[in-house]
């Protein structure tokens, strides 16, 4: 527990410092996390890094995560076109290998590209956008508030299991506590900058981030249970791997971006 706490404080402080420091520094950090995250994903699916499919997955994950909007003169492919090209090349590998690389393996690689590449991309694009520091920090704080609220409320009041087949330690009471704390955190941001975020939207945003974040956590828990592993990696002592720590992030940031496209 002590190791977990120390690692969390040090890593969290460093992460916040880089987030505040600047857009390009943050983008570089997220790209590094994307690279490590895909390596963990490839390894837990039994794809050696030297295999062609794993290399394609690694390449397209980083390509999709990269903030090409900073360099429009390069004429980079859109994310949609990148995903299609990745799909085509992976399917071509199944043919050229005479099905030694199966369609199931190709599908898993493509899933990892979309899941990891898109998730990390939206973290970078949020930071690069208008008032990017505010919105990025708001999203992270609500995610962390939800995690902490769920943990402490679950320990104090938890009785009814939330989803025992996937994550036996999570409770309904903990989940509701996480939602409540996330909403409070969002309201604090609204109080700080009411011109950017009204109270009503803060409540809705805090609710969405908490619920979707918990779903993201359960998605990773379910996947690890299928693969019969406890952690996706060991890069963070006491916390596991990058995917263990970023499971909520990878789902929340794209989802919040999708909501911003809806009519207000």
Among 105, 129, 153, residue at a domain's last position? 129
Q: Please indicate, yes or no, whether residues 69 and 164 belong to a single structural domain of this protein.
A: no
Q: Please indicate, yes or no, whether residues 94 and 11 belong to a single structural domain of this protein.
A: yes
Q: Please indicate, yes or no, whether residues 52 and 156 belong to a single structural domain of this protein.
A: no
What pLDDT does residue 5 have?
64
* Partner residues linked to 236 by β-bridges: 240
* pTM for the structure as a whole: 0.90
What pLDDT does residue 264 have?
44
What pLDDT does residue 186 have?
97
Q: How far is CA 33 from the centre of its chain?
A: 10
* Partner residues linked to 167 by β-bridges: 163
Measured CA angle at 9 (ends 227, 3), to 5 deg: 60
Range of the domain at 170: 131-228
What pLDDT does residue 226 have?
86
Helices of type H across the chain: 2-21, 23-44, 52-65, 79-96, 103-112, 119-128, 132-157, 172-192, 199-227, 242-260
What pLDDT does residue 113 have?
96
Q: Please indicate, yes or no, whether residues 35 and 110 belong to a single structural domain of this protein.
A: yes
- 89 within some domain: yes
Q: Please indicate, yes or no, whether residues 164 and 106 belong to a single structural domain of this protein.
A: no
Is residue 79 a contact partner of residue 121, using CB atoms and an 8 Å limit?
yes
pLDDT mean for each 10 residues of the chain (264 residues) = 63 87 89 94 81 92 94 89 96 92 93 96 94 95 94 85 79 92 97 95 96 93 85 68 91 91 54
Q: Please indicate, yes or no, whether residues 153 and 216 belong to a single structural domain of this protein.
A: yes
Please tell me the total number of residues recorded for the chain in this structure.
Answer: 264
């Amino acid at each position: 527990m002590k190791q977990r706490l120390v690692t969390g404080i040090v890593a969290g402080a460093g992460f916040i410092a880089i987030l505040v420091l600047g857009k390009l520094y943050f983008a570089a950090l997220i790209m590094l996390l994307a690279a490590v995250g895909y390596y963990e994903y490839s390894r837990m699916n039994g794809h050696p890094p030297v295999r062609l499919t794993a290399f394609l997955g690694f390449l397209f994950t980083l390509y999709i995560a990269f903030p090409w909007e900073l360099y429009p003169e390069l004429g980079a492919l859109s994310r949609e076109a990148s995903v299609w090209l990745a799909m085509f090349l992976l399917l071509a590998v199944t043919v050229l290998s005479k099905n030694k690389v199966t369609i199931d393996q190709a599908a898993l690689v493509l899933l990892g590209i979309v899941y990891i590449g898109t998730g990390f991309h939206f973290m970078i694009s949020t930071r690069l956008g208008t008032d990017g520091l505010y919105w990025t920090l708001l999203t992270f704080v609500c995610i962390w508030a939800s995690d902490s609220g769920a943990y402490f409320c679950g320990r104090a009041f938890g009785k009814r299991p939330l989803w025992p087949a996937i994550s036996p330690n999570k409770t309904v009471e903990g989940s509701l506590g996480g939602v409540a704390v996330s909403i409070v955190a969002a309201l604090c941001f609204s109080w700080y900058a009411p011109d950017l975020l009204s109270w009503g939207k803060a409540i809705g945003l805090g609710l969405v981030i908490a619920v979707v974040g918990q779903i993201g956590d359960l998605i990773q828990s379910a996947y690890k249970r299928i693969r019969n592993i406890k952690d996706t990696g060991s890069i963070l002592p006491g916390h596991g791997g990058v995917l263990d720590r970023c499971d909520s992030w990878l789902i929340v940031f794209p989802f919040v971006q999708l909501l911003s496209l809806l009519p207000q």
